[in-house]
Amino acid sequence: MEYGKITENRSLLLMIPAILAFIIALIPTLKYQWPLSWDIYYHVHLANLYLEQGLTFWDPLTYAPFGRPIFYPPLFHYILAASAAVFKVDPFQISRYLQPIFAFSLVLSFTYVAHKLYNLRVALLAGFFLFFTSVFHRAMLPLPETLALILFPLAVYLYYQALEGNGLKFAIIGGILSGLMMLTHNLTGLIMLGVVLLFTMALKLRKDNVNYRALALFLGFTLLVALIWWLPLILQYGFVFHNPQVVIQGPVEYFVILAKTMGVPALIFALLWAFTWINNELKKDALEKWYNKLSRKDILIITWTLFLLILSNAYLLGFSILIDRILNFAVFPVMIMAAWGLEYIHATGKRPVYKKAYKVIIALIIISAVFSGVFYALSVKPLVNDSQRDLAQWFAENGDGEGVVMSLTEGLDPVIVSVSRQPVSTGGYQPGMVKVLDRNLYYSGNFTKEDIIRDNIGYFVEQSPIIHPSYFTLVYQNKDYKVWRVDISVG
């Protein structure tokens, strides 16, 4: 495999991993008539809300009867709503069609930036290593986080180009993309800004020339775009974020999550590069001299990786974090490091046996990567089952549109509200909760008529038996759920 031979048609070759990702994501898209993720039901609910009310910052249907401000950034939901309106298609089907498009776009974004930073071979290897990761699995899910991940490497690359002196226009375009990320998925946008700022700091520490105008433009346009939504929202409602409480992991669990997120093959080759290349360089030079020899793009990749590896270990200090979500943002630089690991074998192997081994390893990685992706696509199923959708459809056809649904299975609420527009007592995206009913009161059965009237409870959904007062009427039942209507005359 001579490098010159594989670069005759760079554009087509660069798209091979993305095209394969599109084909793989088509498998569950054509197999199932509903989108794969559970989260999408909350996002479809917001898309429907925007279709009904236009520009709004208030959601009256979730965490009813109180309602809540919409603290989830709106760009993805407006894309769903606009697509549904233009194509006259249900937002659920728009979400389903986005699955292969998002998978294609995410892989292409990764390989394009890797190609621009390094070369075609590194880009292709990084693209195929991506198939082993949980990020590729999430790429098939039509979610705001996936859209933001598509923009992530592009925004960072544009800022890098601005710092390289290729024009302040790159800082402006990168800042706009960064702002769009803040309008899509907060965490992704904030992590990206952390990467940019730490990269800039790393350059300054070794006394590189840093164009602060580029940084100012990048951050300025990020802020200008983000404020389109966040400024009026915060001025009107303030800001609320409830950090999800998660179980603190131990070292073993952490490494299991790391391997699952990065994929074992990529992790092996990334570690191979880290241990051999760095060790060899440090034998030649002192640490400071070695650091000064690194190219800017190498500093970007290393800073990006170290930042997220350190951040993902914040659980050791007692912080409640979603380790896998943090590590997702490190997948791009780690895939490049894995490609470096393979390139190290190619560069250091002088005997023919090493060249043959290199070709065999590449062939095995490509074949196993594709099989890994296909296996996942064949095994994945929609997280919302037929019973849950049938239940939501019953509310769409028979609900009164006013009484709050108290579901004793909390995960049902986004499904019910997105399909039926019936108010629900929770509804998804718990970090944006402001006020919630005392669900324990209803779980325990120790509620009174006065409680139900005060909380405007119209329906109970049960999966396991609950206490049934005389004013409860069974109105629907399937193999998993029962719906009890509350019949209390108020007067």
* CA torsion angle 231 233 235 240 (round to 10): -110
Q: Which two structure tokens, joined as six digits, stand for 292?
A: 């000064």
Q: Quick one: 373 and 422 in the same domain?
A: no
Q: Quick one: 94 and 159 in the same domain?
A: yes
Cα 41 from Cα 414, distance rounded (Å):
5
Q: Which two structure tokens, joined as six digits, stand for 276?
A: 């051999």
Which pTM does this prediction carry? 0.92
Q: Quick one: 362 and 480 in the same domain?
A: no
CB 64 within 8 A of CB 425: yes
Q: Which two structure tokens, joined as six digits, stand for 265?
A: 């093959």
CB 218 within 8 A of CB 199: no
Within 10 angstroms of residue 462's Cβ, the number of other Cβ atoms is: 18
Q: Quick one: 371 and 480 in the same domain?
A: no
Q: Please report where in the chains the tokens 């054509």 appear, as a residue.
A: 30
- Single out the residue of 367, 397, 384, 366 nearest to residue 483, CA to CA: 397
The CA–CA distances, whole Å, from 74 to 85, 182, 197, 246, 333 equal: 16, 10, 25, 26, 28
Q: Quick one: 362 and 459 in the same domain?
A: no
Q: Quick one: 414 and 476 in the same domain?
A: yes
CB 155 within 8 A of CB 198: no
Q: Quick one: 374 and 402 in the same domain?
A: no
ω into 423 cis (within 30 of 0): no
Q: Quick one: 153 and 79 in the same domain?
A: yes
For 82, residues 6+ apart whose C-beta sits below 8 A from its C-beta are: none
Is residue 292 one of the residues assigned to a domain? no
> What is the domain count for the chain?
2
> Which of 329, 362, 379 represents a domain boundary (last residue)?
379
Is residue 262 one of the residues assigned to a domain? no
Three-state SS at 52: helix
Q: Quick one: 363 and 451 in the same domain?
A: no
Q: Quick one: 453 and 471 in the same domain?
A: yes
pLDDT score at 31:
96
The CA–CA distances, whole Å, from 221 to 184, 188, 218, 234, 441 equal: 15, 17, 6, 19, 48
CB 483 within 8 A of CB 459: yes
Is residue 275 one of the residues assigned to a domain? no
Q: Quick one: 155 and 67 in the same domain?
A: yes
pLDDT tens for each residue of the chain, 491 residues long: 454 555 557 788 999 999 999 999 999 999 999 999 999 999 999 999 999 999 999 999 999 999 999 999 999 999 999 999 999 999 999 999 999 999 999 999 999 999 999 999 999 999 999 999 999 999 999 999 999 999 999 999 999 999 998 889 999 999 999 999 999 999 999 999 999 999 999 999 888 888 999 999 999 999 999 999 999 999 999 888 777 666 666 788 889 999 999 999 999 999 988 887 777 666 665 555 666 678 899 999 999 999 999 999 988 887 778 889 999 999 999 999 999 888 877 776 667 777 788 888 899 999 999 999 999 999 999 999 999 999 999 999 999 999 999 998 778 999 999 999 999 999 888 777 888 998 889 888 889 999 999 999 999 999 877 778 889 999 999 999 999 999 987 65
Q: What is the DSSP letter of 424?
A: B
pLDDT score at 1:
43
Q: Quick one: 479 and 397 in the same domain?
A: yes
Cα 78 from Cα 53, distance rounded (Å):
12
Is residue 44 one of the residues assigned to a domain? yes
CB 296 within 8 A of CB 203: yes
- Containing domain of residue 129, as a range? 5-245+354-379
